[in-house]
Amino acid sequence: MKTFCGRANPTTGALEWVEESEEYDYHQEIARSCYADMLHDHDRNEKYYQGIRAAVARVKARGEKVVILDIGTGTGLLSMMAVTAGADFCYAVEVFKPMAEAAQRIVEKNGFSDKIKIINKHSTDVTVGPDGDMQMKANVLITELFDTELIGEGALPSYEHAHQNLVQDGCEAVPHRATVYAQLVESELLWSWAQLQLEVEGRLSGSAACLWVAVPRAHSVCDIQLSQVSPNSFTPLGPLCTMFRVDFICAQSSGRAQVVLSWWDLDMDPSGSIVCTMAPSWTYPQPKMGPVSYKTQCHDALIQAAVAPSLMLRCVVVEGPLDAECVLPACGEQVTEGEELSLTVCHDDYSLWYSLRSPPSRPCCTCQAHLVWTRPRFGELNDRQRTESYVSALRSVLREDSVCLSVSDGSLLPVFARMLGAKKVLLTRQRSWLSRQKLIDRKSLGQISVLMGEPYFSTSLLPWHSLFFWYCRTALAGLLRPSAAILPCSATLHMVAVEFQDLWRIRAPCGTCEGFDVTPMDEMVQQSLDFRESREAEPHPLWEYPCRALTQSTAIMTFDFTQCVPQQPISSLGLLIGCCHGVALWMEYHLTNDITVSAGLIGPISEQGDCEWSRHRKQGVYFFRSPWESSGDGRAAVSYSFTFEPSSGDIKMDFSIESQ
């Protein structure tokens, strides 16, 4: 059965009716579920296995049969571990139907169908009794319900319901408890992601003008990989503090904070001898290996999926309540060294927040800016070097009689242009105006002397979605003076072949995991990836995922904004040589002939292939189905083909291995 879905094309801005199969959402969820990176995480799996074996042994030592309740079973891996460890029976609960079906096939393939029952329900809907989903209450509870905020996936309500309805009093739990840590720091980098501070000086002529903007702070949770935040970019203002512990037998909490780096650990057993730590790599005694040998492998999809322990961390920039349970000597915002600060952490069922004042009420945004701008967007607007590039470009094209039109979402370019002396500045009110064919004030026909954009649009995901600016420029052709300046005047799509440290795991087949056959999961994911005729690039913030460049940056195609969008496709062909997992793609915007702003690589590639990526935009990543490697004599290579389709605004890409 086919259905038609209306959507705004992120590149052209046009309203489209797209024919989709009723199975489209199903396959998209499967392809994006990203269980592979968790299955490839040997250290995480081993810690769970050790905890499960210990829990099963304790129950057997009491002379009891071992009945497992596995909430959020995913592939069924932890349930199979439990049965292998000696459990008598396991109830494996999975709410996502495709995943539950995959788990059923995996359990059957490994010969555990007589001891593992897959229940396709939310755990809070599971019942116990002769006619219920479970015949008896469990005495071992196994869960994997955690995200970067620990409790953001609803772990606490699930635990509460399970303890009240599904498990015996005094049951064993794996993991047994979690500990949340926090550290107060001073960091211009982290602070720039939470509030806006700008300063622009000077006019084209006459007296100087100064603009300074400060947006009030608000509760802002930033899910980032702190291992990729250099210790040189922050100054600790106090010691690492244990904020509180959540005991999964009986949940409790208390704690404190101001500008905080936060992470957590999982104790897999009551004694705390089996620990899975989320600590960033710079806290480890040895690089990339923690005190419990937890390797740094992670992916931001874990925030939305059935989350496994990972190194995804949260940076919280908040002001708020004060309490007196944890006292830190600190120096920072309006405090001096040696001053005592009480840090308080609070939580509800789904989130944490820190504060430095009482009462510890939940903070909320009152400036509205945090409803419009994302954390990377705040960082982009606070990037002084980037701002200077735009201001310099504006100075080069502005005149005292300039009439400017800005096409960008939430941009400060109109403010800059006015402060620099432009006669008049117009701006579009909403992105949908193009699809409705509503032009700006028709009195401005032929009067616009400067069309400017960053370009930035809130609906853009992939780098080339910002080509919406080009379609706007084409639609606005009648408003522009013949000599109008277009800023940026062009953009170039760049590509580099890369070898990822960890990100490749999200697309890598698992085969076997800890001795269990999980190929049905691989088959299901592959079918979902094949559901569409052509594969697509995905958006990822590459600064958080270390990779090594195996080729030099290649300019694939250039888009000339001084001209209208062409009628014919633009194509590019070429070769890549090296060993890689995929290619990274990004746009560079040429504001003028000599001023360029990159949304990807922001520095040269080192001799070792090290890359420095922009923190403000996500780059496109095209994953190869399997890593390829050239032969020693360099006779093997990957050919690429890119085609920009003006009618749809899409960039189609294809890669194939060929001999030289």
Among the options 94, 149, 153, 538, which is catalytic?
Answer: 153
Domain assignment of residue 638, yes or no? yes
Domain assignment of residue 383, yes or no? yes
- Model pLDDT, residue 517: 83
Region of 497 (left: φ > 0; alpha: ψ -120 to 50; beta: rest) is beta
Does residue 480 register a pLDDT over 70?
A: yes
> Sheet of 403-406: strands edge to edge?
424-427, 403-406, 448-452, 480-487
- Model pLDDT, residue 231: 83
On whether both 234 and 319 belong to a single domain, the answer is yes
On whether both 359 and 383 belong to a single domain, the answer is no
On whether both 216 and 364 belong to a single domain, the answer is yes
Domain assignment of residue 501, yes or no? yes
User: Can you give the C-alpha Rg of the chain in angstroms?
Assistant: 27
The answer to whether the Cα torsion of 346, 352, 356, 360 is positive or negative is negative
Looking at residue 402, which CATH number applies to its domain?
3.40.50.150
Summarize pLDDT for 31-73 with one digit per residue, the tens.
Answer: 555 567 777 788 888 999 999 999 999 999 999 999 999 999 9
Q: 3-class SS at 582? A: strand
On whether both 522 and 640 belong to a single domain, the answer is yes
On whether both 421 and 474 belong to a single domain, the answer is yes
Looking at residue 513, which CATH number applies to its domain?
2.70.160.11
Average pLDDT over residues 266-295: 66
Query: Of 520, 564, 544, 529, which is closest to residue 611 (Cα–Cα)?
Result: 544
- Model pLDDT, residue 470: 95
Domain assignment of residue 19, yes or no? no
Q: What's the whole-model pTM score?
A: 0.79
On whether both 319 and 231 belong to a single domain, the answer is yes
On whether both 224 and 92 belong to a single domain, the answer is no
Q: Identify whether 144 is a catalytic site residue.
A: yes
Domain assignment of residue 299, yes or no? no
Q: Domain limits at 467?
A: 378-487
Q: Identify whether 153 is a catalytic site residue.
A: yes
Q: Which of 460, 487, 514 is the last residue of a domain?
A: 487
Least confident of 52-66, 184-198, 474-488, 620-634: 620-634
**Are the C-beta atoms of residues 146 and 38 closer than 8 Å to each other?**
no
Least confident of 99-103, 329-333, 457-461, 484-488: 329-333
- Model pLDDT, residue 579: 61
- Model pLDDT, residue 213: 52
Using 50, 70 and 90 to split pLDDT, how confident is the model at 442?
low
**Are the C-beta atoms of residues 373 and 408 closer than 8 Å to each other?**
no
Domain assignment of residue 469, yes or no? yes
Average pLDDT over residues 560-567: 95
Among the options 94, 144, 149, 499, which is catalytic?
Answer: 144
On whether both 383 and 354 belong to a single domain, the answer is no
Domain assignment of residue 298, yes or no? no
More confident residue, 141 or 279: 141
On whether both 201 and 348 belong to a single domain, the answer is yes
Average pLDDT of the chain, as a whole number: 76
Detail the DSSP E strand segments found in 268-343: 275-277, 313-317, 327-330, 339-342
On whether both 112 and 257 belong to a single domain, the answer is no
